[in-house]
Each structure stands twice: as C-alpha cells, then as structure tokens.
Amino acid sequence: MSDKRYTDIYQRALRDPEGFWAEAAEDVHWDRRWSRVLDDSRPPFYRWFAGGALNTCYNALDVHVEQGHGDRPALIYDSPVTDGGKVFTYAELRDAVATFAGALRNHGVAAGDRVIIYMPMVPEAVVAMLACARLGAVHSVVFGGFAANELATRIDDARPKVIVSASCGIEVNRIIEYKPLLDEAIRLAKHKPGTCLVLQRPQAEAAMTAGRDVDWNEAVAAAEPAPCVSVAATDPLYILYTSGTTGQPKGIVRDNGGHAVALKWSMKNIYGVDAGEVYWAASDVGWVVGHSYIVYAPLLKGCTTVLYEGKPVGTPDPGAFWRVISQHDVRVLFTAPTAFRAIKKEDPDGTHVRKHDLSRFRTLFLAGERCDPDTLLWARELLDVPVIDHWWQTETGWPIAANCMGIAPLPVKPGSPTRAVPGYDVRVLDDAGNDLPAGEMGSITVKLPLPPGCLPTLWNNEEGYRRAYLEQHPGYYVTSDGGYCDEDGYLWIMGRIDDVINVAGHRLSTGAMEEVLAAHPAVAECAVLGVADALKGQLPLGLIVVKAGVETTEETLVPELVSLVREKIGPVADFKQALMVKRLPKTRSGKILRGTVRSMADGTPYKAPATIDDPAILDEIREDLGRLGYPKG
C-alpha cells in the first residue's frame, strides 16, 4: 500500500512537474503570483516561478506571527561550549531580524547587494542570514574560522558591501579568533567591503579597525526595524561556495521562489515533521545542511529549530546528542554518519543513551557521507527508531533520494538512501550516456530540468555551471557520484566517481569495500582508497580506526579484514593492505579526504583543503603511510 502511494506521487511529479510544483507553491505566501511555473525558454538554464515575487524572511517569520503563532518557540540555541543557551519565539526572532536588517540598511545594504557572514554557531548568525533575506540582499555564509586566503577569494568573487563577523568561535578545547583571519582576508582581497559588523564575544575581544569596523550591539542600538522587501522568485537568496576541482571555489546560487517551495514541501513530505514540532539538524550554518535545515526549511514550515554549538562527543561526553534530544523534546534529528561513528567509537555499548528520556524521539536521518550499514544498524538498535539514510548535495540544496517519511515509509535497505524523491528523475548512465540496467554501476545523473530549490547557475559564471555539471551528459545534471539502481528502484551511492578504482582492469567500488570493513566488530570507522601500483594500475588501501576499548593490533586485525573482503567481494578486489590509524583526515563537515591521502601515498602534489578539520592529522597519516613504504619508489 505504502509503495503504491509513493509511486503514485513520484509518477505524478514526473508526468506533470508544473502542476505538481504549482500545487506545492500554494503553501507559500506570494506578493505576486508567477506567470510561468517553469520557464524553459533557455535550456539548459531553467527557472521556476518566473514572474512571481515574494520575501523568504516574511515566509519564515512574519507569516507565522500574523497567523497567531508569535509565542511559539522558533529557535533554540544550545551551547555546551559556553554552558549557555536561549530560546527565541517567532515574534522575538522576527523583531531581532527586522532590527538587524535595519542596521544593515543603515550601512548601505539594499536588495541585490551581497553580505558575507563569517560567524560561529550563534543566534546572531541566523539573524544575519534572515536579515539579508528580509532586505532582498544576497548572503554568502563562509564557515567560521576558514583560512584567510580562502575567505579572500570569496570576498573577491561575491564583492560584498558588508561583512558580518564575530570575535571568535569556540571549539572543545580552544578559542579560534576570527578577527585576525578576517583582517588578513580583507588585506589579501582586491575588493574591500565598506563595513564590517562585528559581534564581540566575551571569550575573546577583537581589535576594531577605525572607520570600517562597527560593533554589532552599537549598530543594532542605532537601527530602526526594516520591513520585508519583495523580490523576484528568480532573484538569488544566497551564494554558497563549494570547492571547485580547479581550486577556484564555485558559488552555488539559490533562488528565492523555488527554494521556499521545495524546502517547505520537504519538511512534511520527506522528514515527516509538522508545524510546532522540534526539529534538529546537527550541522553548521556554514554548510548547506545549516542553510536548508537549521535555518530555512524548519522556519518556513513553522517548526522549532535547534542551533547547537557543540560536538557529538567531548561536549562533555558521547551522550551530548541524547541530552539535547531529551531536554528540548526533539522529534527528528538530522546529522552526518560521521557524528554517529564518533559516538559509536567512544560509547560502543550505548551506555549514555540510557541516561536520557528519548521516548518522544521519532526518526533519525543521516546524510553528508555515505552511511555504512553497520553504523545504520547500530543506531537503529540503540535508539529503536527508524534510521533513514538519504542523499543530496550542496548543489541541490535538498534531498535527491530518501525514504519519504511523510509520504509513505518504505522498507529500509541498509546502505541505500532508498528511492528518488518526487521531482527528481534520477538516471544511471554509462560513459556514452546510455541508461544502464538494474545492478550495473555507472554515473548517477538527474534528467533536466532539476526540480525547484536546486542551483539554477553559479554566481557570475554561467559557463562554469555548464562545464562542471551539464556538459558531460547533455540534458542531464551530473552528480559526480557513482552507483547503481537495483531491481526495486532503490539507489546505491557508492561514492564519488573518482572513488571507483581500477584494479587490473576491474572497476571496483571503494564504498563496497568500506561496507565490509565497517562490519568488523573492532572497526569504528574506515576509508578505502586506490593507490597507484605499477603492475595492476591501482590497489585498494584501507585506513582503520578501532573502537574505544578494543584491544587489537595491526598484525591481528589486518589479516582478518583482508579475509573478510576476500569472502564478501572476492579475490578480484585484491585487498591486501590496511593501516590502523588514530583518526581519519576529514573536512569540518565530516567528509573523509580520500583524494588527499591518495596523493600522499602516490607521491603526487596535493594541497590540504581549506575545510580540513585539523591539518596536523596529515602528518600523522604521512607517518602511517611510511610504515607501508608509501610513497613507493
């Protein structure tokens, strides 16, 4: 029965996308209705709700206050790193946003201007984002603590009128001062912003530059509340930079109209969350998950959203997530598998779960890095709720494939993000652009047009958009992920296309090998990458992190893992080498830096990504690789 409901809705979105999304758009407040649901006059550059006008901030805040929900909690700020927190009602958040919008307006910000936001996980970051939306300005959030040269490239690309920042961010055991990084970035950048609005935090006071820097509180005290400015549905709401293969960041553009429609639709239909319920995306506002599911989607839906300034472990222990869920009555949590692997490593038996009341917690969603079945099954057994792996990208802004809990929950297949979400026509193609049959691995693509909410282009770089995403298979958006679709229509995302390795002519998925390794009872997390081999082209190499409290050695564990891969995948995988490491090198959003480690092993030039969580880890990995004689020769 549930399968039929999902299929009917999915097929309707495929058959009549304009009718489907026009119906969804009725749930959004429009200042002016659209003249065309889908503007297909310039393929492959499609636009949704052309001719329409709205304000995203109005839809996220004012509309709920006007409907009588001003006293409903909108934002819960929970900060174990400062031992603080605060709850904002919809009315309080609207007023704070309107006043800060007035402060931005006082410093010359108007519709279409860009504002860079370089802040930690504090309520003011959310206020600044929504204040830009209120004015029709375009925000570009840069992850707080990003290196100065990376921030400088974003300043030069976005050319902001104002930068909003804070004196510092707070990690588990250190303070990261932002202002010196910001000052250096402005020195390096060709474009110089007129004003920097700086939030002074008590943990570190920033030195202010006369004539340019303005204290946040002083700016707010001098401001009058600003009203919402109506903008075109096709006008940009924000730019979010993602690393490009050329080293130049790509500015993903998100529009106002399609974004509001898709994200509001997703809250009930994908996540199964209703207005008034507490929803928590444990991410950062610097990433797409923070944009979509800490700030915009929950507030558009009228939910209560959690802004968490902490970690899954160490703030103070592996029970941090359970404490937040219990304390704030969280019904649905969305986080990265890497967070759960960290919890599992520190507390494999789940003793901390039993210290908290999770009886009202309903669903766990995982995304951001491929979720190995072992982690999913561990979480499901521990929490006794559905654990939903789903898949999407910075570029799409919302899920491509998921088990849609608000439509019709389907049987879970651990390792698969279930099926394509209504609106996405997902195809698996071979190198020549032909559809592949069930079970055959290829390039995962989405047939154009992409649904509302996805990127319509790159900032000031239409040709770059075409080249990066549309050229390889004309008529399709290329995700750069590889995988296959099974006979039940379930998608299997096996990792980036680059993570498919070629061993003596056999194309093998490193993701499949990781799945096998992760199932070993001693393994907390792992990564497999293909390293150069003179004879076979490439050979797989495993990096293994052992669970806390497990007593084993490399000499004991590696033969067991080699045997497991041989049994589950076969001798063709040629998996013979692995290293026990203290930790895996990752970005701050939890993605494992397989490409960087591969370059280290191969002895080819590499540059540590700006998003790396801790650069010192590369020295550890280089030492570990040396034990196996890498780089060879």
- Contact indicator for 173, 179 with CB cutoff of 8 Å: no
pLDDT tier at 246, thresholds 50, 70, 90: very low
pLDDT tier at 632, thresholds 50, 70, 90: confident
pLDDT for residue 243: 67
405 pLDDT exceeds 90? Answer: yes
Residues 475, 528 share a domain: no
- Maximum separation of any 2 CA atoms in the chain, in Å: 71
pLDDT for residue 633: 63
| Domains in the chain, number | 2
Q: Which residue has the higher pLDDT, 413 or 504?
A: 413
Mean pLDDT (the chain, rounded): 93
Residues 414, 561 share a domain: no
pLDDT for residue 541: 94
Residue 430 DSSP symbol:
-
Residues 221, 273 share a domain: yes
**For residues 204-233, average pLDDT:** 98
590 pLDDT exceeds 90? Answer: no
Residue 328 maps to a domain: no
Residues 524, 428 share a domain: no
Q: Which of 448, 483, 518 is the last residue of a domain?
A: 483
Residues 523, 469 share a domain: no
Residue 497 maps to a domain: no
Q: Which of 109-123, 330-344, 419-433, 524-538 has the lowest mean pLDDT?
A: 524-538
pLDDT for residue 515: 86
406 pLDDT exceeds 60? Answer: yes
Residues 64, 22 share a domain: yes
What CATH number is associated with residue 586? 3.30.300.30
Write the CB contacts of 10 (distance below 8 Å, at least 6 apart in sequence): 419, 420, 422
Residue 492 maps to a domain: no
Residue 345 maps to a domain: no
Residues 397, 285 share a domain: yes
Residues 557, 469 share a domain: no
List the domain range (segments joined by +) for residue 195: 2-310+390-483
Residue 424 maps to a domain: yes
Residues 126, 87 share a domain: yes
pLDDT tier at 171, thresholds 50, 70, 90: confident
The candidate with the shortest Cα–Cα distance to 86, out of 321, 278, 306, is 306
pLDDT digits (tens, 9 = 90+) for 295-317: 999 999 999 999 999 999 999 99
Residue 330 maps to a domain: no
**For residues 212-235, average pLDDT:** 98
pLDDT digits (tens, 9 = 90+) for 519-552: 999 999 999 999 988 777 788 999 999 999 999 9
Q: Which of 17-21, 73-77, 624-628 has the lowest mean pLDDT?
A: 624-628
Residues 396, 269 share a domain: yes
pLDDT digits (tens, 9 = 90+) for 190-217: 999 999 999 999 999 999 999 999 999 9
Calculate what percentage of the chain has a pLDDT beyond 90: 81
Question: pTM for the full model?
Answer: 0.86
- Contact indicator for 91, 116 with CB cutoff of 8 Å: no
Q: Which pairs count as long-range contacts for 605-613, CB under 8 Å and 24+ apart, including other chains?
A: 607/247, 609/243, 610/146, 610/147, 610/149, 610/150, 610/243, 611/143, 611/146, 611/243, 611/587, 612/585, 612/586, 612/587, 612/588, 613/585, 613/586, 613/587, 613/588
pLDDT digits (tens, 9 = 90+) for 45-55: 999 999 999 99
What CATH number is associated with residue 279? 3.40.50.12780
Q: Which of 417, 452, 483 is the last residue of a domain?
A: 483
Residue 356 maps to a domain: no
pLDDT for residue 248: 67
pLDDT for residue 610: 76
Q: List the strands of the sheet with 114-118, edge to edge.
A: 213-215, 195-199, 162-166, 114-118, 138-141, 236-242, 250-255
Alpha helices (runs of H) in 200-313, residue ranges in sequence order: 216-221, 257-269, 288-289, 297-301
Q: Which of 483, 517, 535 is the last residue of a domain?
A: 483
Residues 145, 8 share a domain: yes
At residue 214's C-alpha, the angle toward residues 211 and 217, to 5°, is: 160
159 pLDDT exceeds 80? Answer: yes
pLDDT tier at 503, thresholds 50, 70, 90: confident
Residues 522, 439 share a domain: no
pLDDT digits (tens, 9 = 90+) for 87-121: 999 999 999 999 999 999 999 999 999 999 999 99
Written as six digits, the tokens of 207 are: 């030195």
**For residues 456-475, average pLDDT:** 95
pLDDT digits (tens, 9 = 90+) for 365-382: 999 877 888 889 999 999
Residue 316 maps to a domain: no
1 pLDDT exceeds 60? Answer: no
The candidate with the shortest Cα–Cα distance to 367, out of 396, 321, 343, 334, is 334
429 pLDDT exceeds 80? Answer: yes
**For residues 448-467, average pLDDT:** 96
Alpha helices (runs of H) in 277-400, residue ranges in sequence order: 288-289, 297-301, 320-328, 337-346, 373-383
